[in-house]
Structure 1
């Protein structure tokens, strides 16, 4: 032990006469542990715990209100789905109806024309697709046997999954046997009957919204007392119409091209009912990410039913995958523009939420609802756009 160490540990006499050891004030060296460090690093206490609990109480109130609103959306979906769909369509064609009214036409004329166009398009679609759908339903027993034969290698895994599901749930899940045409027809009728009432509600809401567009617009604006509030409401209304019109009209034209390509590909490869697959591709392409994936799987299954071997069945899905890749990554951004493109995560979460809440119709309405919400939020809570460096 050297002199410095002796000085640090020099005995000193206490008041009681006993010797103690006087330790220097220098802290002991800290051992450095290499590897991951868990837990909080240099935590600091809350300045005011009352503010924290106030914020938490406000958050709990908002969360309970959101849960109750979600329950309302779910319970009232037969009423809200057609009404919201009609409002989105009316917002989309709002600039056109406003232009017609400014030219001197009575407001009921564009309302009647729009309803007639949509009803005629629906009637034409039913006429063109009724025969292919009926043919598929009549051949459901043959198609079911073919699918069972093609996917016989999946029997054991599917049986194991079914047994596991039954063991976890305690009862077997309800299913429709596609080998029995009566089950398919009964399921279709059970779905079509309430759908007819929703179609009536959709067309009635669309007609009255277009008919009273200017009056509703004026009522919404005059609801606010201040000039800034009225101006903000008018901007939200106009920007919602402009955004939905620019997005949905352009996407509809692009989806028509996708449906045409799907029709030509399935017709060239000898698929049955090519018009049906073109219409399905047109409709599913309104659902981002998920819709094209469903179409790829559908073309693969139809290819397996059409051809005896696997390689020819892969041609149609491969061609459609290549086309939708070019369409989604190059064509849509070029035509629509970057300003209309939303964050992919926001689009996917909106799609997942509305599909979970309202099913397929919710999946179709997810992107327009997200656009409306983003327009309203942009006016209510405007924030400067900051471009971060790469």
Structure 2
């Protein structure tokens, strides 16, 4: 028994190490797979109605690439403006939070006492190669985007062949039927969840952009786009957006209370969206246990960073669908 546990533990460690070091390759591939499974029923419907497989594949890639290009064009000016004013914004934030200097100094002194060091030594003698660092960041990102779109195109193009290949991996009729059910239910669950959540997140982004525009915030489109993306991350995403709106409110207004208006309005809307809209529209069958969602979010965020946080819920849905078919169980309501 102990040898089996040791073998399983070693396999998990090796697999986790592989996931970590192969993340530049696995992240775009997994993103493309999730998107392809999400739109799988739609592409299947198009093929059944006489369209060749490359037509929905080309349409999906074109729409996503066009949306990405439009987002870059619309957000480049406000982002560059904020980056250009970063020194001014930093000084203003420091001035607004001057009352925190004494507690932070006490915490720093306490940390220095326990760690035995007075601070971090920073070598500022060497100038930063900004162009090299930017190119070093953009080049891998561009390669991952190319890999994502190419993989998505071939996933959508070969949906039927991939489905047939997965089913034919099993020899018995029961195994093939179970694989087919897992594949179909995974497509159906991801389609129902992600398309609905995307529609809701578009509304969340529009509401955030409208609220920030009415309150006179700079770059309302940027905050709307940020709200749209962060709302894919359960629990953490809306919290980050509340904090961001509060900080931008402090920079916009001179006093504290007006700065709380935007976070309060956004918090009210996300509370209604998370507790009433999503459960009502999606249905109880697709709602996951909050602890499972949180643990998945924590694990994939730790392993793959922000992209892992975005992929945490879709990966959990895929795992839960497969587990429900591989290990069916009778659901009984326990007494209180």
For 1:252, the equivalent position in structure 2 comes to: 198
For 1:319, the equivalent position in structure 2 comes to: 265
2:255 matched to 1:309?
yes
**Cα deviation 1:23-59 (Å, max 9, x = unaligned):** xxxxxxxxxxxxxxxxxxxxxxxxxxxxxxx2x3322
2:37 matched to 1:100?
no
For 1:343, the equivalent position in structure 2 comes to: 289
Measured after TM superposition, the shift of residue 151 of structure 1 is: 1.0
For 1:137, the equivalent position in structure 2 comes to: 83
For 1:78, the equivalent position in structure 2 comes to: 24
Q: What are structure 1's unaligned runs of at least 5 residues?
A: 1-53
Written as runs of structure 1 = structure 2, the 5 A alignment for 1:187-206 is 190-206=136-152
C-alpha separation between the residues in 2 aligned to 1:223 and 1:259?
Answer: 43
For 2:115, the equivalent position in structure 1 comes to: 168
TM-aligned CA distance change 1:137 to 1:174, over 3 Å: farther
Written as runs of structure 1 = structure 2, the 5 A alignment for 1:6-85 is 54=1, 56-85=2-31
Q: Check whether the contact 1:137–1:185 (CA below 8 A) recurs between aligned residues.
A: no
For 1:355, the equivalent position in structure 2 comes to: 301
Written as runs of structure 1 = structure 2, the 5 A alignment for 1:203-218 is 203-218=149-164
Match for 2:170 among 207, 214, 224? 224
SS in 2 for 1:280: helix
2:27 matched to 1:110?
no
2:327 matched to 1:378?
no
Measured after TM superposition, the shift of residue 60 of structure 1 is: 2.1
Measured after TM superposition, the shift of residue 168 of structure 1 is: 3.1
C-alpha separation between the residues in 2 aligned to 1:242 and 1:217?
Answer: 14
**Cα deviation 1:215-264 (Å, max 9, x = unaligned):** 11111111111111111111111000000000000000011111111011
**Cα deviation 1:86-115 (Å, max 9, x = unaligned):** 000000000111111111111111111110
Q: CA RMSD in A?
A: 2.1
2:212 matched to 1:266?
yes
Q: Check whether the contact 1:300–1:317 (CA below 8 A) recurs between aligned residues.
A: yes
Measured after TM superposition, the shift of residue 169 of structure 1 is: 8.8
C-alpha separation between the residues in 1 aligned to 2:14 and 2:117?
Answer: 30
For 2:70, the equivalent position in structure 1 comes to: 124
For 1:15, the equivalent position in structure 2 comes to: none
C-alpha separation between the residues in 1 aligned to 2:209 and 2:199?
Answer: 15
TM-aligned CA distance change 1:255 to 1:183, over 3 Å: farther
The structure having more radius of gyration, on CA atoms, is 1
Measured after TM superposition, the shift of residue 303 of structure 1 is: 0.2
C-alpha separation between the residues in 2 aligned to 1:169 and 1:332?
Answer: 50
User: Which one has the bigger helix percentage?
Assistant: 2
**Cα deviation 1:300-321 (Å, max 9, x = unaligned):** 0000000011010011011111
TM-score, normalisation: structure 2 = 0.93
TM-score, normalisation: structure 1 = 0.81
